[in-house]
Amino acid sequence: MAWSESDIPDLSDRTFVVTGANSGIGWEAARMFAARGARVVMACRTVSKGEEAAARIREHAPGARLEVMALDLADLDSVRAFAGGLASVHRQVHALVNNAGVMAIPYARTAQGFEMQLGTNHFGHFALTGLLLDALAPGARVVNVSSGVHRLGTFDWTDLNWERGYSEWPAYCRSKLANLFFTFELDRRLKAAGSTCLGVACHPGYAATNLQFVGPQQRESALGTFVMSAGNALFAQSAANGALPTVFATVSPTIHGSEYVGPRVFQAWGAPSVQATAPRAQDPAGWKKLWEASEKRTGVRFLPIT
Ligand SMILES: NC(=O)c1ccc[n+]([C@@H]2O[C@H](COP(=O)([O-])OP(=O)(O)OC[C@H]3O[C@@H](n4cnc5c(N)ncnc54)[C@H](OP(=O)(O)O)[C@@H]3O)[C@@H](O)[C@H]2O)c1
């Protein structure tokens, strides 16, 4: 039988943090967790959007235990403030779902000067995870939302900020390969340190969300918006189905760390299953290089799992 929302176990003793929980995959995952009793911290860039999103969850699950907190992954000061605020209230986080992301946007930089897609999708989440390490409960999971386009990702270690030859899609693909490098190195280091916490990766296949529209909106491209709308209408699954791999990676007892979970029909649609990554994601030397670059750039060290 295909795994579905009805297979989510009781989560009433769990506290989950979901980044980008006001939209798309993050909102659907937060809704599903909350409906099964989890306390969900909705980490959102704009608090008013988060509150509105929480209200929409309460329409589905009136007793939902939701907290909206401000988090801008493109600013490490915001990441530090979020982590400090969260850790002072919740000492036992059972899952950190690193879901927020931007895709194929024009060149921009984060507050600390990182190229925006790698900065938001990877460096912000790397720093957040390191800062929340002490707040993770035994057996907690760090779930990183990657993408099938990691298959096209490459690293130029001499130019992580894309100062030469920036291109929107290759930068997105790199950021999604980075999500996998981070997951596998995190899980390896956790296990080596004797921790019971796990690093897990997932991807939603192709799901109709706001993700596809941010790039065209920033470029003011009506054609781009039209193409994305048509693509979503013709080929995408719902955001709710797209969230199932994330939810499975977070709650399934069959997960032991370092899996890559995605929809099983052509890795684009359908019920979640554990899948193979592209060979380029299985590169321990690359994992280590990205880890070291991430510590250096963010200033966040994952003591004691070095
Ligand atoms: N949809 C797909 O087909 C697909 C396919 C493969 C992978 N993914 C991955 O799935 C994840 C979720 O995307 P989605 O499809 O649900 O897109 P979405 O609807 O656009 O949601 C993205 C979320 O990320 C948040 N975000 C963006 N920049 C942020 C920042 N600097 N700080 C904090 N939050 C930020 C957005 O906040 P705002 O609302 O404030 O912008 C929004 O809540 C992403 O990692 C994406 O790469 C999606």
Does residue 163 sit within a domain? yes
Specify if 219 maps to a domain: no
What is the reported pLDDT for 243? Answer: 98
Under the banding of pLDDT at 50, 70 and 90, the label for residue 305 is low
Return the pLDDT at 306: 58
Given this model, what pLDDT does residue 71 score? 98
pLDDT at 58: 97
The alpha carbon of 102 and the centre of ligand 1 are apart by a number of angstroms equal to 5
Q: Band the pLDDT of 213: cuts 50, 70, 90.
A: confident
Q: What is the Å distance from ligand 1's center to 27 Cα?
A: 10
Decide: 186 and 298 in contact? Cβ < 8 Å.
Answer: no
Is residue 233 in a domain? no
**Domain-embedded: residue 232:** no
User: What pLDDT is attached to residue 227?
Assistant: 86
Amino acid 304: pLDDT? 67
- How high is the mean pLDDT of the chain? 95
Q: pLDDT value at position 262?
A: 97
107 found inside a domain:
yes
Helix axes 168-192, 125-132, angle to 10 degrees: 20
Give the residues surrounding ligand 1 with Cβ less than 6 Å away: 19-20, 22-26, 45-46, 49, 71-74, 99-103, 120, 145, 147, 203-204, 206-207, 209-211, 242
Nearest CA to ligand 1 atom 40: 45
Range 51-67 average pLDDT = 96
Query: Interhelix angle for 125-132 vs 76-89, to 10°?
Result: 30
Q: How far is the CA of 259 from the centre of ligand 1 (A)?
A: 21
At residue 34, the 3 state secondary structure works out as helix
Sheet holding 15-19, edge to edge: 65-70, 39-44, 15-19, 93-98, 136-145, 198-202, 260-265, 269-274
Q: For residue 93, name the pLDDT band (cuts at 50, 70, 90).
A: very high
Rounded CA separation 212/214 (Å): 6
Digit-coded pLDDT (tens) for 118-155: 999 999 999 999 999 999 999 999 999 999 999 999 99
Q: By residue range, what is the domain housing residue 39?
A: 10-205+244-297
- Residue 232 pLDDT > 90: no
Instruction: Return the pLDDT at 215.
Output: 86
- CA distances 143 to 13, 62, 105, 135, Å, are 19, 26, 24, 15
Task: Name the closest-CA residue to atom 24, ligand 1.
Answer: 100
**Digit-coded pLDDT (tens) for 8-23:** 999 999 999 999 999 9
The per-residue pLDDT for range 154-175, each reduced to its tens digit, is 999 999 999 999 999 999 999 9
The predicted structure's pLDDT at residue 17 = 98
Q: Which atom of ligand 1 is nearest to the CA of 71?
A: 33
Tell me the CA–centroid distance for residue 260 and ligand 1, in Å.
Answer: 18
* Residue-level pLDDT at 89: 85
Query: Would residue 176 count as lying in a domain?
Result: yes
Strand ranges in the chain using DSSP code E only, listed in sequence order: 15-19, 39-44, 65-70, 93-98, 136-145, 198-202, 260-265, 269-274
Annotated catalytic residues are 172
Check whether 177 has a pLDDT greater than 80.
yes
CATH of the domain at 78: 3.40.50.720
Q: Is 192 a domain residue?
A: yes
Would you say residue 216 lies in a domain?
no
Residue 302 has a pLDDT of: 87
Q: How many helices (H) and strands (E) would you count in the chain?
A: 10, 8
Total number of domains constituting the chain: 1
Site to substitute for ligand 1 among 46, 121, 211, most atoms within 8 A of C-beta: 211
Q: Which two tokens stand for residue 17?
A: 């943090």
User: In sequence order, what DSSP letters do the residues of 83-119 get, joined into one string?
Assistant: HHHHHHH-S-EEEEEE-----SPPS-B-TTS-BHHHI
Residue 43 Cα to ligand 1 midpoint, Å, equals: 12
Strands 136-145 and 260-265: unpaired
Looking at per-residue confidence, does 277 or 215 come out higher? 277
Q: CA 194, 281, 161: angle at the middle one, nearest 5? A: 100
Mutate to test the pocket of ligand 1, among 27, 45, 68, 203 (most ligand atoms within 8 A of CB): 45
- Could you tell me which residues come within 8 angstroms of residue 48 by beta carbon, excluding any fewer than 6 positions away? none
The torsion of the CA quartet 137, 262, 73, 162, rounded to 10 degrees, works out to 130
Q: Tokens standing for 283?
A: 């590169």
Confidence (pTM) = 0.97
Percent of the chain with pLDDT over 90: 87
